[in-house]
Every structure is written in C-alpha cells, then in structure tokens.
Amino acid sequence: MELRQLAVVVAVAEEGGFTAAAHRLRTVQSTVSTVVRALERDLGTPLFHRTTHRVALTPAGEAFMPAARAALEAAARARAAVSPVGGRVRLGVCPGLLADWHRVLAALRHVHPGLAVEVRQIRPDAVGPVLAESTVDVVLAVVAGCGAAASDDLAPELLTTLLPGDELVLVTAPGGSRSAPADLAELSLVDFPPGWAIREAVDRAFPCRRLSLEVDDLAVAAGLVRAGLAACVLPAAAASRFPDLTVRRFDRPPPWQLAAVHRGDPSPAVGALLAQLG
C-alpha cells in the first residue's frame, strides 16, 4: 500500500467521483480508476459502490477512510519536520486557547523561515464554517465536549489532530493548598466571556459556581487572582504562564483536549504547522 494510493482513494471519496478526483489530482480518470482497483485487489474488498450517476463508499470504504486520512496527515507532518516549507498558512484560534502562540510561531519561523503565518480569532461555533469556506487552513479548538464543536459535529472531509493532553486547574493567589475543592460554589471566581472555549468548558464542569468577575484577557485574570480578588479555572498550560500563582489540582480534573482541525490531505504548509503544534 502506497501513500499515492491513499491520496487517490481519499480524493475520490471527497470529490464524489473518479473524474472529479482526477481533476483535483491533475491526472486522467483512467489512472485514478487503475489505482483504486489495484488497492481494492490488495485489500481484498471494494471501497466504492460504482453506478452510472454516482460513486459512494462501501462499508469497508467508510471504515478505511479515517485511517487513510490519518496516514496522509502523518506523512505530511513527517515531511514538514525535515524539509523547510514556504508559502502561507492561515491559523484560526478560538479565544483564550493558544496562550503561548508567540513561542509556537517563533519556533515555526526558525524551522521554516519562508513560511508566512496569519493568525485570527475564531468562535468555537464557527470552526466548521470557516474551514468549509477556506477562510482559514487550520483551527485550534477544544474537542470531545470540552468547550467547542466536537469532532462528530464536523463535516466528514475535516480531520481532527489531537494535540498533547491537558487538564483544567484552579489558580489562586500565591501560597496555600495545592488541592482544589470539588465544589467551587463558595469561591469568588474570575471568568471569561461567553464564546470563549475556556468559559464553555468551565460552565460544563462547574455549573453551580458563582461568577464574580468577567474579563477577556488571561493576563488581566491572572492579575485579579494575584491581588487575592478571585480564583480562576484555567488549562494547566495557560496557568504555567503565571508561576507566582498557586496551581491547585482537582481530584478528578476536568479534561481539556486541544486539537487542530483542518481539511484532509493537508498541504506542506499545514503539515509544518501541525508538526510544530504537536
């Protein structure tokens, strides 16, 4: 099985036909058909139902497609890790997610000095639409019910690349206990506006908490905590930006799973960004 075969099968599935896939791949329809038939013989099962008017995935094809997309994505990331990439990549970030984005972009520029990166804020409920409209190439979001559209809610042509795991922690003024109470109802809390993935995740994890302050900046929230005016629930990675504050961990930490959401068959520029984010 070759990556070229996987790319052809994915193109046929996403374009809905052999002719359209050939156009996308800049080849002829007969070549696409030959490659698909060879892979089906190798696998011992058909991947597509072929009729006069349409091409659709078989159950085996449906099962095969996520792994094929993942293999193509992994190959793109591997190439990007060793070869300088040029061009442009547009990154959408849900508010409050990429606390150290300047470090990520600086490291990316060091490895790929010819790659230009544009960053813009994207609301969690707009992840699918902006990718479908090609407004951005990659969106950094929270998945699996942690505050943004879960991967099951996204269009099938979009891929979700999970990033290193994290957890939500309680941040308080310097000193004091290192363990967080299970019930936050008695605490004064600083939180973030509706539409921020952090706010949505905390709303789900602690529905009975009392919101005392609301700000739209992580550093401002940290300042209020530092002054002893409130506590704040943050992802552990974001809390690490403020080492003077006390990080208190929950016995059962609410999950915080970041992911990069993008279209299938990523370009070298997208692969380079994914490699750096991962």
- Name the residue ranges covered by the structural domains of the chain: 3-78, 84-163+258-277, 166-256
Q: What are the structure tokens assigned to 152, written together?
A: 């099951």
Q: What is the pLDDT of residue 247?
A: 92
Domain 3-78 adopts which CATH fold? Arc Repressor Mutant, subunit A (1.10.10)
pLDDT at 152: 46
84-163+258-277 and 3-78 share a CATH fold: no
pLDDT of residue 153: 54
CATH code reported for the domain at 84-163+258-277: 3.40.190.10
pLDDT, residue 78, reads 76
Q: Could you report the average pLDDT of every consecutive run of 10 residues in the chain (278 residues)?
A: 88 84 80 90 90 83 89 77 79 76 79 86 83 87 55 64 83 87 85 86 83 88 93 88 90 83 82 81
pLDDT of residue 99: 60
pLDDT in the model for residue 149:
41
Predicted confidence at residue 173, as pLDDT, reads 92
The pLDDT of residue 98 is 62
| CATH entry 3.30.450.20 includes domain 166-256 | no
